[in-house]
Homo-oligomer: A and B are copies of this chain.
């Protein structure tokens, strides 16, 4: 969590300013992940929730609500809702990806089984709908149920698009909006809606979350090819080995000559990889400046996020959200 370091990182500044609300969110999460009848549920959930993670998404909801002057109790429910949706999708993602590690620990599907991950994920989804229903606000229900559908659609699209060399930047963006940005934008948007903010401000919060989520995912995909594995906890080239067509490769494929194209067809589409292939992939990414271009895209989305939120009235939290957008892309500076 890094809270033992100097608290200068924007997500730490946010965590500090939102500490009281986050405490309430954590209490609500613990309360609602319980199950009277099925002890397997809190076991699995606690494993994942206990592993930490920055709780970025629920913080976005709390921040948006405070920024818009909300004084009621329901931003806490919405923040817990957002975290439950996120946790449920992580559980299902690990089944889909057949992952063995998450947040540096063995995944739930490995410790228990796929069955538990599928069903406990379903439980958390249902719990999230109960939580949002308790707010009694139909507009947030509409936003969050739409976001859930967009997330699931994005994940299914990724299944078919990830190993298909015809996948271009617009399909990539659609997948990223689904798997990442939809929950970021819903998180910020519902914070504004529950506060009764005016439509232009709600739109600005949505735009901020959308652009921040896209920047966040592009950086993630970029770090997969140029990250320091000690800092990211990922090995360079995981996406390549798992044959995931992310933005750097899409950019290199678009500029590939015939030989290079044959290389991508063999390694990504057909999955026939051997020694030296990752190095050759990195050479091609370099040749076509794919990582440089990808980083430019991430920076451009961070600028969009900052421009969107700059339209809101001045507020300490507004500045933290602007800093957060810079911080998300600073990981690849």
Contacts and interface: CB of A to CB of B under 8 A. Distances in A.
Interface of A: 35, 37-41, 89, 92, 95-96, 114-116, 118-120, 122-123, 125-127, 129-130, 133, 136, 138, 141-142, 145-146, 148-149, 151-157, 159-160, 174, 178
B96 A156 contact: no
Contact of A92 (B118, B133, B160): B118
Nearest to A32: B149
Nearest to A35: B153
Nearest to A36: B153
Given A92-B119, A115-B96, A115-B159, A174 B37 contact: yes
Contacts of A136: 138
Contact of A130 (B96, B145, B174): B145
Contact of A149 (B127, B146, B152): B127
B115 A160 contact: no
A139 B142 CA distance: 15
Contacts of A141: 129, 133, 141
A223 B89 CA distance: 37
Contacts of A174: 37
B160 A119 contact: no
Given A95-B114, A119-B156, A130-B149, 8 more contacts: A37-B154, A40-B160, A41-B156, A89-B122, A120-B152, A125-B125, A130-B142, A130-B145
Given A157-B37, A160-B40, A126 B138 contact: no
5 contacts: A37-B157, A40-B157, A123-B149, A123-B156, A126-B151
Contacts of A156: 35, 38, 40-41, 116, 119-120, 123
Contacts of A35: 153, 156
B125 A148 contact: yes
A186 to B, nearest CB: 12
Contacts of A40: 156-157, 159-160
A155 B117 CA distance: 12
Contacts of A122: 89, 92, 125, 148, 151-152, 155
Contacts of A152: 119-120, 122-123, 125-126
A89 B119 CA distance: 9
Given A38-B160, A41-B153, A138-B136, A148 B119 contact: no
Contacts of A37: 153-154, 157, 174, 178
Contacts of A41: 153, 156
